[in-house]
């Protein structure tokens, strides 16, 4: 997902959204100028770059801890060579790479469009032809990827993008270079996202390698997420999700009849029982897209998105004037859905000719300065407008995601957790409610309302101040002020700095991959937060 930040212009005047470069970031890699930052992941940083011809590109660099590993470099070189053989059918083209550079980097097609994860989270589940086009588009991509002898290994909604020309699957193949090097072979460092990982990846038999069938399982989980807003084996923790994947049948409630059978086959426990990517595509092309559903992937501004499972849709869009990029994205997403038929008849036909690959202790606090929040409207019917939803959240009448806008992730707190973490915004662990106490707020976890757990600050020796679970009692460690940042997130929602009068601002550390609380001096906080409506409080 492209974060709202620096607005960079290409030589042709086109606009590309990115975050500013940080001190120490390179200004150039090989033949490519570095324009801004697009994101950060477990494997490294992603930058917006510009090639010699002015073409915008995404440049992925490798984290320093991998660079000294000679086995990693060999794997990286091999996987890049394979990825460059993947034809650009519903995939982001691999343009260039230099495994021997310091740091090693990969250059891929820049896709200026939202991810499936962001659209479902912010606007609701997909229906009708929109859902079918996503299923076909991802299956088309897997057919191309597997045909070139590549396995994606990390297919998930965040790696499915809506582009001007249709669905684009990104980040394929390269995960293998990070999965089994001489320094990184522990099970808990296995590359992938648990909710989309096939059972054989948790329980390998006799050291058998991962096969393309693992991607087919991930396809099934992605389609279930697109159709329902949840994953087919959703549980309260990653370990519980893995156990369900290994032992239980998928929950396909909400998946349309036209897709249930093929999704069920894709989610078979035994990889041998799953269809190949080509068979999957044939099955989808043999069935027509169901009628009566939304034709654009994302409804027009005047429409109401279908709520994701167990939550009211968080489609908070303020105005195209506030975030001009949104109107362009909506048109691209609508075009993606309209091109579903073209994918099926044109690109789908071309893919058929691809080669087949076998295979706290702190005490009370005084009130702080007033929060810069909009005045709350009088209580009344279900909030409809974005402003009404935000006001209801700030009054404490709604459940909410607390979205870290700079990294496109959401705060999460589970029952057994010892600290507040970030996650993908799914499940009860990501739900919170604000409790207004004069000018400050308690941030209450809705994972289990009976547990009475709130977010607090605690000083950890040799670490610093961190966000931790705490009793929902007003103390200097649990009271937070919401300070309007005067910025918006990538969906046009107002963002806030979360401030504790005793400890400082809540921020995200890219270096430590964790949340911390600290003063910032004369500088603005590094992290801002927005609130995504997730429905009324449980009765």
- Give the other-Cβ count within 10 Å of 499's Cβ: 22
Question: Nearest 5°: CA angle at 198, between 192 and 201?
Answer: 70
458 CB-near residues (< 8 Å, 6+ apart): 360, 361, 362, 465, 466, 468, 470, 477
In this structure, what is the dihedral angle of CA atoms 284, 288, 290, 294, given to the nearest 10 degrees?
A: 90
d(CA 481, CA 441): 6
Output the CA torsion sign for 77, 79, 85, 88.
negative
Tell me whether residue 452 is one of the annotated catalytic residues. no
Q: Structure tokens of 500?
A: 């504790």
- Cα 112 to chain centroid, rounded: 15
Burial 28-49 (b: 16+ CB within 10 A, else e): ebeebbbbbbbbbeebbbbbbb
Q: What HEC string does 410-426 produce?
A: EEECCCCCCCCEEECCC
Q: Of 355, 390, 386, whose CA–CA distance to 375 is shortest?
A: 390
Burial class for 63, CB neighbours closer than 10 Å (0-12, 13-18, 19+) = middle
Q: Of 481, 478, 487, whose CA–CA distance to 524 is shortest?
A: 487
d(CA 13, CA 3): 20
d(CA 197, CA 202): 8
Q: Of 98, 95, 99, whose CA–CA distance to 111 is shortest?
A: 95
318 CB-near residues (< 8 Å, 6+ apart): 386, 387, 488, 492, 493, 494
Per the document, the length of the chain is 539
Considering the candidates 154, 171, 490, 533, report the single residue annotated as catalytic: 154
Q: What HEC string does 484-521 produce?
A: EEEEECCCCCEEEEEEECCCEEEEEECCCCEEEEECCC
Distances (CA, A) of 263 to 11, 405, 455: 44, 33, 39
Does residue 154 contact residue 175 with C-beta atoms inside 8 Å? yes
Does residue 531 contact residue 401 with C-beta atoms inside 8 Å? yes
Q: Structure tokens of 405?
A: 């806008």
Kindly list the catalytic residues: 154
């Amino acid at each position: 997902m492209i974060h709202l930040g620096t607005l960079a212009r290409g030589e042709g005047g086109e606009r590309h959204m990115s975050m500013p470069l940080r001190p120490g970031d390179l200004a150039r890699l090989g033949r490519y100028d570095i324009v801004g930052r697009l994101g950060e992941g477990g494997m490294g940083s992603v930058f917006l770059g510009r090639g010699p011809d002015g073409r915008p590109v995404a440049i992925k660099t490798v984290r320093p801890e991998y660079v000294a590993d000679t086995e990693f470099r060999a794997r990286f070189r091999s996987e890049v060579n394979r990825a460059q053989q993947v034809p650009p059918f519903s995939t982001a083209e691999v343009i260039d790479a230099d495994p021997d550079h310091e740091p090693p980097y990969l250059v891929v097609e820049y896709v200026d469009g939202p991810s499936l994860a962001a659209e479902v989270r912010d606007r609701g589940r997909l229906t009708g032809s929109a859902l079918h086009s996503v299923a076909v588009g991802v299956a088309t991509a897997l057919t191309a990827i597997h045909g070139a002898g590549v396995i994606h290994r990390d297919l998930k909604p965040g790696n499915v993008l809506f582009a001007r020309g249709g669905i684009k699957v990104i980040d394929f193949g390269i995960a293998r270079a990070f999965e089994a090097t001489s320094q990184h072979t522990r099970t808990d460092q296995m590359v992938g996202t648990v909710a989309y990982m096939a059972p054989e990846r948790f329980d390998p038999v006799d050291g058998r390698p991962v096969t393309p069938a693992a991607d087919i399982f991930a396809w099934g989980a992605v389609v279930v997420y697109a159709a329902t807003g949840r994953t087919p084996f959703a549980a309260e923790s990653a370990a519980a999700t893995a156990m369900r994947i290994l032992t239980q049948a998928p929950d396909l409630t909400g998946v349309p009849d036209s897709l249930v059978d093929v999704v069920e086959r894709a989610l078979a426990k035994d990889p041998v029982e799953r269809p190949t990517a080509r068979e999957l595509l044939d099955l989808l092309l043999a069935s027509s897209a169901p009628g009566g559903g939304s034709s654009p992937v994302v409804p027009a501004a005047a429409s109401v998105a279908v709520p994701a499972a167990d939550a009211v849709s968080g489609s908070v869009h303020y105005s195209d004037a506030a975030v001009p990029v949104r109107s362009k994205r909506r048109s691209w997403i609508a075009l993606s859905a309209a091109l579903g038929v073209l994918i099926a008849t044109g690109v789908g036909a071309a893919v058929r000719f691809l080669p087949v690959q076998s295979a706290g202790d702190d005490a009370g606090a005084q009130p702080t300065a007033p929060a810069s929040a909009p005045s709350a409207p009088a209580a009344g019917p279900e909030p409809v407008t974005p402003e009404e939803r935000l006001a209801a959240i700030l009054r404490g009448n709604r459940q909410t995601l607390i979205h870290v806008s700079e990294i496109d992730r959401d705060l999460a707190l589970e029952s057994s957790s010892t600290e507040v973490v970030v996650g993908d915004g799914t499940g009860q662990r990501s739900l919170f409610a604000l409790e207004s106490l004069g000018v400050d707020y308690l941030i209450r976890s809705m994972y289990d309302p009976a547990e009475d757990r709130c977010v607090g600050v605690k000083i950890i020796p040799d670490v610093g101040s961190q966000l931790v679970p705490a009793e929902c009692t007003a103390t200097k460690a649990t009271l937070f002020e919401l300070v309007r940042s005067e910025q918006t997130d990538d969906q046009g929602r107002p963002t806030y700095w979360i401030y504790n009068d005793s400890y400082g601002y809540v921020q995200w550390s890219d270096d430590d991959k964790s949340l911390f609380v600290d003063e910032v001096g004369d500088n603005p906080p590094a992290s801002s937060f927005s609130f995504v409506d997730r429905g009324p409080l449980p009765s």
